[in-house]
């Protein structure tokens, strides 16, 4: 005898609703997996890699700045210097620059060797005339603006040419730099980082550059 009892209404609607929602449940599974993967990528414990936008211009390398001779340690120099511009005005080589707007080199005096180096003038005028004490008198041999670095792969001497400009123009001579066969040898203890060698080097890019004593600022 067939079971002709009426189907329980609640059961009927429950079974019907399950059939209706089944496609949605199947579709939700890949979406849920994708969301979990996205959250894992964005997790703060994972390093994020910043990629440039298509067509974006790569950052321009920072210019390297030297501080004038006799400068205090970088943080002390920045805190002590009054930005008065006296060292700029008394420099006979006009090597010292000052951005009065404060956007370059922390707003304090700086030197760009490729434009005009410190020539280690006889009077050491910037040191003697600094009113704030940010530049202190320092004997020439004890000046420490940075250290020159020779780039062999750029130098014409590595190709057999007898260029010796960096050695001949150095204010301290062989106490700071000398030739050793086809190589240029920088004497770290004698180099004061004045930048004359970098300025006079005829190659482009420069075959010898000065690494400043302090971290370069832009």
| Contact call for residues 155 and 203 (beta carbons, < 8 A) | yes
Domain membership of residue 45 (yes or no) is no
Strands (E), 37-195: 96-97, 110-111, 146-150, 177-180, 183-186
Domain that holds residue 122: 74-212
Domain membership of residue 154 (yes or no) is yes
For residues 154 and 142, give the distance between their C-alpha atoms in angstroms, rounded to a whole number: 30
Domain membership of residue 48 (yes or no) is no
Selected residue with higher pLDDT from 19 and 141: 141
Closest listed residue to residue 193, CA positions, set 179, 209, 216: 209
Selected residue with higher pLDDT from 94 and 17: 94
| CATH number, residue 111 | 3.30.70
pLDDT of residue 34: 52
| Contact call for residues 87 and 94 (beta carbons, < 8 A) | no
Most confident of 31-35, 44-48, 153-157: 153-157
Domain membership of residue 18 (yes or no) is no
Domain membership of residue 101 (yes or no) is yes
Residue 64 pLDDT grade (very low, low, confident, very high; cuts 50, 70, 90): confident
Domain membership of residue 4 (yes or no) is no
Check: pTM over 0.85? Answer yes or no: no
Cα distances (angstroms) measured from residue 106 to each of 30, 103, 218 = 53, 6, 8
Q: How many domains does the chain have?
A: 1
| Contact call for residues 198 and 205 (beta carbons, < 8 A) | no
Neighbouring residues of 187: CB distance < 8 A, sequence distance ≥ 6:
174, 175, 176, 177, 178
| Contact call for residues 94 and 51 (beta carbons, < 8 A) | no
User: Which pairing describes strands 96-97 and 110-111: parallel, antiparallel, or unpaired?
Assistant: antiparallel
Domain membership of residue 12 (yes or no) is no
- Of the ranges 1-15, 102-116, 158-172, which one carries the lowest mean pLDDT score? 1-15
101: Cα separation from own chain's centroid: 21
Domain membership of residue 145 (yes or no) is yes
Residue 12 pLDDT grade (very low, low, confident, very high; cuts 50, 70, 90): low
Where helices occur in 130-172 by DSSP H, the ranges are 165-169
């Amino acid at each position: 005898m067939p079971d002709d009892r009426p189907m329980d209404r609640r059961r009927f609607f429950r079974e019907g609703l399950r059939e209706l929602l089944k496609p949605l449940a199947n579709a939700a599974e890949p979406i849920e997996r994708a969301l979990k993967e996205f959250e894992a990528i964005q997790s703060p414990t994972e390093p994020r890699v910043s990629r440039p936008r298509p067509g974006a211009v790569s950052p321009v390398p920072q210019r390297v700045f030297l501080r004038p001779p006799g400068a205090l340690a970088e943080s002390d120099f920045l805190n002590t210097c009054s930005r008065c511009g006296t060292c700029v005005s008394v420099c006979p080589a006009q090597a010292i620059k000052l951005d009065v707007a404060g956007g370059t080199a922390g707003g304090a005096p700086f030197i760009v060797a490729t434009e005009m180096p410190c020539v280690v003038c006889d009077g050491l005028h910037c040191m003697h005339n600094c009113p704030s004490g940010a530049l202190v008198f320092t004997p020439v041999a004890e000046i420490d603006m940075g250290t020159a670095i020779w780039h062999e792969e750029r130098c014409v001497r590595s190709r057999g040419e007898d260029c010796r400009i960096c050695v001949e123009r150095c204010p301290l001579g062989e106490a700071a730099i000398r030739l050793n066969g086809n190589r240029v040898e920088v004497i770290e203890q004698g180099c004061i980082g004045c930048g004359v060698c970098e300025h006079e080097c005829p190659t482009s890019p420069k075959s010898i550059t000065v690494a400043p004593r302090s971290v370069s600022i832009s």
